[in-house]
């Protein structure tokens, strides 16, 4: 059946589903549904707010108050010239928070923009929007996947809350192997991921891709050189769902713009499974790779979080279809033109490729940009490290040295910079 050769990837991008009417004239607003009391308390009050197009240096403000069980949100961010004088750039948000959860809230209302870059045209969007909590130094609630200006550029809108509060973490922490695997699958004929192109027939809002054989079904084995237990594939078709039919769990914290789906054929039946966020990794904006968790006897273990039984694929089968396996070390060396950032654990930059070398500095988090020289000694790579400003426009400090890019088990201590710095 032809439909077995493709998979629907649900798109979380562009404009979210917008209701044609929010509240009819004279209709009483519905009380805010509070699923997490601590999050609701943290949201109350006046907070700093930023709109990416306006500024991250000059803050706007937003006020959230509770009126008889209804949480209202109203805020403004006005642009400023270099001298600090207000200009015509403007962002306004006004409406009701209808639902508050542990790490996201649902907002129904209107957002208004007016930017010099849009010839001062005033644009309004009214509908349902989602803000999700971001861990890290900023600790902000960020608008999810919204194209917001008149020119429909994707923008970042953040509301900064009490830094002493953070969402409760649920479930067990991932092990290093669960988080990274041992490598990934990439295109065979592409020396770098920048060689990857998307067909012109795909619309601007649907330009995303998971690196995997684009035709046919890949056989799944129960173990290396074992019994065929099914077949699977991922492909791009670009179907837009109704936003209200999606769960928040499908919204990745790094703003993955697709709700992933995996088509599996087994026992003469076809299953459509969600690809777990831990089973793929974003190489750059809208380009993803499948992680590999084990390698044995010419076979690779894939999709352990997505498929609830052991699934292995043949390396030979993948190679014939134009996809190859790369360890993290090989991937880093092949992608040396890319920028990397350190893990949250912190890495020492040393004068030589050894722990006995002089420590030049310790780097941690995305404020540090790492460029690889291509020179390596085992798990050590020679690098240039730059500490960047939050807006990626300024370089503060630089170091040339060596870092242990992979730990003793081969798991990466650095990762591709997906912030487009």
pLDDT above 60: residue 23: no
Give, for 320, the enclosing helix (H) or strand (E).
helix 315-320
Query: What's the token pair of residue 345?
Result: 């654990």
**Which residues, at least 6 apart from 27, have a Cβ–Cβ distance to it below 8 Å?**
none
Q: What is the pTM of this model?
A: 0.51
The tokens describing 312, both together, are 């292995």
pLDDT at 241: 37
Domain ranges of the chain: 2-13+173-333, 37-160, 336-416
Lowest mean per-residue pLDDT among 92-96, 177-181, 367-371: 177-181
Of residues 192 and 361, the one with the higher pLDDT is 361
Query: From CA 210, how far away is CA 223, in angstroms rounded?
Result: 24
Supply the pLDDT for residue 136: 60
Q: How far apart are CA 298 and CA 312, in angstroms?
A: 10
| Other beta carbons within 10 Å of 350 | 20
For residue 417, pLDDT beyond 60:
yes
Containing 91, the helix (H) or strand (E) segment is strand 86-100
Kindly tell me if the per-residue pLDDT of 358 is higher than 90: yes
Backbone angles phi, psi at 76, to 5 degrees: -145, 140
Angstrom CA distances, 354 to 121, 336, 379, stand at 58, 21, 10
> What tokens were used for 31?
């009380």
What integer pLDDT is reported at residue 72 of this predicted model?
96
- Residue closest to 374 by CA, chosen among 332, 408, 416: 332
Which span out of 14-18, 91-95, 211-215 was modeled with the highest average pLDDT? 91-95
| Residue 258's pLDDT band (cuts 50, 70, 90) | very low
H-only helix segments in 315-408: 315-320, 328-334
Q: Read off the pLDDT band of 197 (50, 70, 90).
A: very low
Average pLDDT, the chain: 74
Pairing of strands 209-211, 287-292: parallel
Considering only residues 393 and 74, tell me which one the structure prediction assigns the higher pLDDT.
74
Predicted confidence (pLDDT) at residue 53 exceeds the cutoff of 60: yes
Q: Are 225 and 298 in contact (CB under 8 A)?
A: yes
Q: In the chain, how many H helices and how many E strands?
A: 4, 30
Task: Kindly state the percentage of the chain with pLDDT values over 70.
Answer: 67
Instruction: Give mean pLDDT, residues 216-244.
Output: 69
* pLDDT exceeds 90 at position 124: no
Q: Do domains 37-160 and 336-416 have the same CATH topology?
A: no
Pairing outcome for strands 33-34 and 86-100: parallel
Tracing tokens 């046919």 back to the chain, one arrives at: 216
Q: Is residue 2 predicted with pLDDT exceeding 70?
A: no
pLDDT at site 348 = 93
At residue 313 the predicted structure's pLDDT band, cuts being 50, 70 and 90, is very high
Q: What would the DSSP string read from start to end of 222-237?
A: SSTT--EEEEEE----
pLDDT at 330 over 70: yes
Ranges 187-201, 243-257, 336-350, most confident: 336-350
DSSP at 145: S
Task: Indicate if the pLDDT at residue 21 is higher than 60.
Answer: no
Per mean pLDDT, which range of 261-275, 347-361, 384-398 is the poorest?
A: 261-275
In angstroms, rounded to a whole number, what is the distance separating the alpha carbons of residues 107 and 109?
6
Edge-to-edge strands, sheet with 395-404: 359-363, 347-350, 395-404, 380-388, 368-377, 339-342, 414-416
Q: 211 or 401: which carries more pLDDT confidence?
A: 401
Condensed to tens digits (0 to 9), the pLDDT of residues 99-121 reads: 998 888 999 999 888 887 777 88
336-416 CATH fold:
SH3 type barrels. (2.30.30)
pLDDT in tens, 334-347: 888 888 888 766 89
Instruction: Specify the CATH architecture of the domain 37-160.
Output: Beta Barrel (2.40)
Identify the pLDDT of residue 113: 86
């Amino acid at each position: 059946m032809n439909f077995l050769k493709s998979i629907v990837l649900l798109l979380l991008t562009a404009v979210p589903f917008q209701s044609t009417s929010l509240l009819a004239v004279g209709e009483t607003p519905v009380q805010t549904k509070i699923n997490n009391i601590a999050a609701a308390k943290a949201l109350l009050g006046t907070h700093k707010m930023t709109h990416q197009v306006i500024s991250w240096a000059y803050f706007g403000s937003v006020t959230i108050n509770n009126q008889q069980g209804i949480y209202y949100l109203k805020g403004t961010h006005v642009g400023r010239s270099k001298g600090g004088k207000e200009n015509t750039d403007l962002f306004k948000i006004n409406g009701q928070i209808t639902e508050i959860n542990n790490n996201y809230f649902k907002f129904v209302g209107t957002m208004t923009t007016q930017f010099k870059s849009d010839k001062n045209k005033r644009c309004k969007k009214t509908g349902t929007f989602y803000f999700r909590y971001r861990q890290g130094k900023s600790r902000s609630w960020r608008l999810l996947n919204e194209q917001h200006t008149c020119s429909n550029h994707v923008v970042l809108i953040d509301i900064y809350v009490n830094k002493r509060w953070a969402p409760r973490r649920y479930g067990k922490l991932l092990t290093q192997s669960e988080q990274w695997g041992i490598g990934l699958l990439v295109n065979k004929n592409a020396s770098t991921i920048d060689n990857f192109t998307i067909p012109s027939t795909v619309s601007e809002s649907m330009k995303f891709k998971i690196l995997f054989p684009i035709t046919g079904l890949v056989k799944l084995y129960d173990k290396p050189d074992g019994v065929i237990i099914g077949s699977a594939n991922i492909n791009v078709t670009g179907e837009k769902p109704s936003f209200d039919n999606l769960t928040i769990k499908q919204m990745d914290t790094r703003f993955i713009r697709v709700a992933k789906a995996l088509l599996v054929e087994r026992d003469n039946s076809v299953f459509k499974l969600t690809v777990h966020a831990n089973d793929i990794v974003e190489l750059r904006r809208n380009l993803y790779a499948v992680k590999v968790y084990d390698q044995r006897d010419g076979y690779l273990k894939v999709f352990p979080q997505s498929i609830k039984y052991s699934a292995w694929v043949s390396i030979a089968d993948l190679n014939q279809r134009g996809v190859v396996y790369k360890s993290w070390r090989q991937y880093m060396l092949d992608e040396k033109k890319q920028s990397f950032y350190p893990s949250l654990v912190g890495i020492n930059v040393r004068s030589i490729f050894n722990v006995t070398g002089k420590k030049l500095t310790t780097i941690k988090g995305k404020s540090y940009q790492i460029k690889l020289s291509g020179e390596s000694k085992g798990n050590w790579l020679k690098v240039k490290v730059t500490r960047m400003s939050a807006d990626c426009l300024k370089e503060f400090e630089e170091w040339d040295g060596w870092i242990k890019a992979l730990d003793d088990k081969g798991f990466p201590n650095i990762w591709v910079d997906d912030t487009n710095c």
